[in-house]
Amino acid sequence: MAAYSLRFTPNVFKAGARVSVRPEFFALTGQRCQLKLVEVDDDGLRPTDVATFSVTVVAGSGGARRFSAAARVGEAGTPPEGTPSFTLVFEGVAGEHQVAVDKPRDAKEGRFFELGLVVLDPSGKEVYPAGKPLPYARMDCGSVGSRYAKMNCKALNFSNDSAVVLPDGVWVLYGVLDYARSHRDGRLLVLSHTDSVGAAADNDRLSDDRARSVLHLMRGGHEGDYAANRAAFVARCKGRWATLDAQTILRWAATFSWAAGIDPGPPSSDRGAGRQAVPQATARALLEFDGLFKAKFAGAAEPAPPTAAQVAAVKTVPDAFWGQVFDVYQDFLMRLLGHQRRADMDKLVTGVRWLDAMSDATRSIGCGERYPLVAEQGGRGSVENRRTEFMFFVDGSERPASLARGDLGPLYDAAVWTVDEIPCPDDKPPPEITLPLPRTKDVLFVIDVSGSMQATDGLRALEENTRLSRVKRALRRLLGDLQAAHADALVNLIAYGGSSADPRAVELDRWRDALGPIDASTVTWIEGLRPRGSTPTGEAMLMALREAKGPGGAAPPAALTVVLLSDGAPNVRPGMTSEASRAAIIKEITDTRARLRPGWTIDTYGFAAADGQGFNDFMQKLAARNGGTFTAI
């Protein structure tokens, strides 16, 4: 029996607060789940003597079911046997969820409690977590007092004397926004700090610039102010940058397929007179990025390689580059947070609550060198001190007496304020791809393994983060679900790549010559896939439709779903424009399916990061004209 758990983001929250729960942790259909309440004290976890409490699980847009339960868990001084608990049964729960925890009645003021979930098998035996209650969230039983939660990540750092947020910092902002949307009772304050190198007044100005740069990047399209926040971000960057910043960003951009191949050359120093000198390799990379950015985000034609004269003319990083960086960062954040539409992202950032929303100066504060974490000696600055902090003050907590930069010292005094550390997102896995069960039990998978499937789309350049690796994991999960749902399911898997020299040449790699049942060899075949060549999607789909066979060479099933997974526009047919070529490919596939496989449908899945050259439009139309759906992944 599978073991599941419901996890809360660790954090103090007031009684009655709501905590968002990710759907993947709510896969509890048909299982009995036991929610346990345990007290937290210096001795660790033990059965509580609190009287009564209740929990309500509210299904979001994916369902309308509500579940509630209440239990008496013991009398003061008389701990019950075992860990106090009650049982909830979750059925048909899907989509976003929230858990509302009511304040325990008769609880003593100031106590904190942990909540954990245990999964039971049909006989009532615990299968997870093997008899040991795991704490997932904390609940207070009274005044919060002088308490806040803080995220302080070393990954959000800056080059010397620079206010440019580097790519690793965007990953941190993802963690902050992800935390904020699941802790709606938290009010945010951003503090930026410098080391002690340089004059104190200069460090005040530098920390202000860094704080505002982070703020404007976080706010993005807040209340429709995308253009204003973009302009403000550009203003901070163009006033304080180093060539090293541009090189770091360009190298990161090259992890996306649309900017693959950009090479800014060896890193420059961020110190001394040469910190803003642009080497020739970096100048070329800036020009290439500009052309590729306009092709992806503005629908411009594919750029020609820059000429030697154009490269020689680039003496500095152009102001327009920082605006393009803002747009790429926003697109990356949107996808990390699971959104496909700018409007959804704008709604998320607009919903972030601030400790003091009167002005940017009180939302994000530059503290200069006032509050170091470590001592600095010999004029050497410390990375630990050169930091950005995100503080969440829950409703009902006290707030700093003053938000003036010189009055924030008590926040760092453990005798005055209690701080709950929020884990940094550095170790979070990349967003996983979820493929739903197809409409039919029999499925033909057509998988793009072109060279661009090596892209990591801004994630760390690790093998497990490539598009193809993420597709492999998604396929393994889907095949397991399909086999569990339909023991007699028939599948085949076809991978395709091609030659850049001949756009119609296609190399197919089949799991089997015919449809067959899922077995151990399916996973082995998936694990052996490697990226190669170009993207002859049209030719691969036509061959898959024409050459499909059932078990033993019989006719294939009359009803079947074709699942196409790709990350790029199909190769352009000779003598055609890219638009005309895409239209011709869609028509040819649609006509062939209607003639040979009229009962089949085509679902398409395309990497959102790869959108460009009409890719999404191609995938949407191909699915729509063949009875299927398109999903951006």
**Residues 209-244: tens digit of each pLDDT:** 999 999 999 999 887 889 999 999 999 999 899 999
Where is average pLDDT lowest: 212-216, 346-350, 420-424, 560-564?
Answer: 420-424
**Amino acid sitting at position 522:** T
Which carries the bigger pLDDT value, residue 117 or residue 264?
264
**In angstroms, rounded to a whole number, what is the distance separating the alpha carbons of residues 503 and 511?**
24
Which carries the bigger pLDDT value, residue 168 or residue 460?
168
pLDDT range class, residue 270, cuts 50, 70, 90: confident
| Predicted pLDDT at 494 | 95
pLDDT digits (tens, 9 = 90+) for 412-448: 888 888 888 887 775 455 567 888 899 999 999 999 9
Helices (DSSP H) in 92-182: which residue ranges?
Answer: 167-182
| Predicted pLDDT at 503 | 60
CB atoms within 10 A of CB 577: 10
Helices (DSSP H) in 534-597: which residue ranges?
Answer: 537-547, 578-596
Mean of pLDDT values over 351-373? 89
- Cβ contacts of residue 586 below 8 Å, gap of 6+? 618, 621, 622, 625
pLDDT digits (tens, 9 = 90+) for 19-66: 333 323 333 333 333 333 333 333 333 333 322 333 333 333 333 333
Average per-residue pLDDT for the chain: 76
463 pLDDT above the threshold of 90: no
| Predicted pLDDT at 12 | 28
Backbone torsions φ then ψ of 99, nearest 5 degrees: -120, 125
Helix %, strand %, coil % of the chain (to 5)? 35, 20, 45
N residues, the chain: 633
Place of tokens 């995220």: 151
Q: How many CA atoms lie within 13 A of 546 on its CB side?
A: 10
pLDDT digits (tens, 9 = 90+) for 134-177: 333 333 333 445 778 888 877 788 888 899 999 988 988 988 99
Is the overall model pTM greater than 0.75, yes or no?
A: no
| Predicted pLDDT at 417 | 86
Instruction: List beta partners, residue 605.
Output: 565, 631
287 pLDDT above the threshold of 90: yes
